[in-house]
Amino acid sequence: MSWVSAVTRVKTALDAAHSNQATLNVFISIDDEGALNRAHTIDSRISSGDDVRPLAGVPVALKDLIDQKDRVTTAGSQFYRKKAETNAACVERLERAGAVIIGRTGLHEWAFGFSSENPHWGAVRNPWDPTTSPGGSSGGSAVAVAAGITPIAIGTDTGGSVRVPAALCGIYGLKVTHGRIPLNGVFPLVSSIDTVGPLANSMENIDLAYREMSADPTPAPEERSLRLGIPQPWYETSPTDDDIAGEFTTAVETLRAIGHEVHTIDMPDVEPSIQLWNAIAAEVRDVHAGFRRQNEIYGEDVARRLADSDLVTEAEGEEARAWQEQMRARFSDALTTVDFLITPTVPVRRKVIGKELIGDRHYRGVLSYFSALVNHTLNPALALPLPGTGRAHRGRPPASLQLIGARNSEPALIAFGRALETEGIVGFEPAPISSPKPQGG
């Protein structure tokens, strides 16, 4: 395959970033000069005979929660402005692999929510239907991929903030084992469960970004028939829409048809509860204590949640941390009997911008129903789009499948995702509002 220059790829991505900005509000800042300078440097090195790095010249979008040398981190806030003196560890590794960061993406304020409807920077909009949310908190990163601006974007995931927007935008997203990718240089939400992870338009790009950011040398396992478990009552009692449940059932039947074992698995007490919040409230409160003492300005949504954190007692926090340990044991036990757990990634296809409710429930609890528990157990999980399941629902993205693995099983999760992609069971399709496919991804 002929080499497409880094400059050509980066120019294409920058053009797409600017042309989509008014409609989708993907970026907080776009770095034309820095990205093109880096692309020229990469082309010069390659023409001089330097080794072609794994991500040489590949445009990448970066969540504006992650430090990038000489660029300003805003965390999607009204007041925080940090000009980074060094790269976050994940950025350093991406750039060492040749990636070119073209801009910093919009997010839910402080990464503290699931809509990316930001009161300071405006709502990020879903390219499947701009009246709907892309999910959050890594909404801009998901839209950068779904709209064809970049083949890879980087987000963070503390309760589903990579997987939820990946699902609502019809792309791939990987939540890694806690600690698998360094968090140095990432503004914390809840450092005990925060993770950094890639979003992408292919499993190959998920694999490339994961390997570079994690430095994980574990080889992919050989392909084989797998045992997959549908956790009950977690799935059975979920607020899953009928159309998502139907697509999930079809996917399960397809997996069985190609030789995998799929059955329900009993996981007592494994359901979202108030403990999800009580377990993290003290950490959230501590992160923002200094800003709040200075009477800094927060948006209404985040201000309300910070006020709620003040109401969680030390005893309630201790009880919730005991609950975390129980959940970790439940997942560990389950994953000794099956290779992966399988659920929908999100129970619904869409969340309308400006609406707090989905049906009769707050959107936050609905969108995070299948994702937030996984952060508390520290396990990795992969969101996979089911192609062809969205276009029949005008303006709605495809359904999404979530695979949950044992800790540090990312190579096996990725290998299975790649196998399903090869089979055509999962796959990326560009959103209706999209730029030409980004070159080099």
What the block records as the tokens of 139 is 């909404």
Spell out the residues 6+ positions from residue 406 whose beta carbon is closer than 8 angstroms to its own.
332, 335, 379
Query: Which residue ranges make up each domain of the chain?
Result: 6-225+343-423
Phi, psi of 188 (to 5 degrees): -80, 150
pLDDT at residue 343, rounded to an integer:
98
Output the average pLDDT for the chain: 96
Q: Which residues of 23-34 are buried (b: 16+ CB within 10 A; e: fewer)?
A: ebbbbbebbeeb
Task: Find the mean pLDDT for residues 58-64.
Answer: 99
What the block records as the tokens of 337 is 């009997």
For 224-272, how does the pLDDT look when each residue is reduced to its tens digit (9 = 90+)? 999 999 999 999 999 999 999 999 999 999 999 999 999 999 999 999 9
Catalytic residue among 137, 141, 238, 309: 137
Amino acid at residue number 435: S
Give the predicted TM-score (pTM) of the model. Answer: 0.96
Catalytic residue among 77, 161, 400, 409: 161
Looking at 52-56, 102-106, 275-279, 433-437, which range is the least confident one?
Answer: 433-437
Over 80: is that where the pLDDT of 338 sits? Answer: yes
CATH 3.90.1300.10 fits 6-225+343-423, yes or no: yes
Beta-strand ranges (E) seen in 225-276 are 227-232, 261-266
Catalytic residue among 11, 63, 175, 351: 63
For 136-172, how does the pLDDT look when each residue is reduced to its tens digit (9 = 90+)? 999 999 999 999 999 999 999 999 999 999 999 999 9
Identify whether 63 is a catalytic site residue: yes
Identify whether 82 is a catalytic site residue: no
SS3 of 361, please? strand
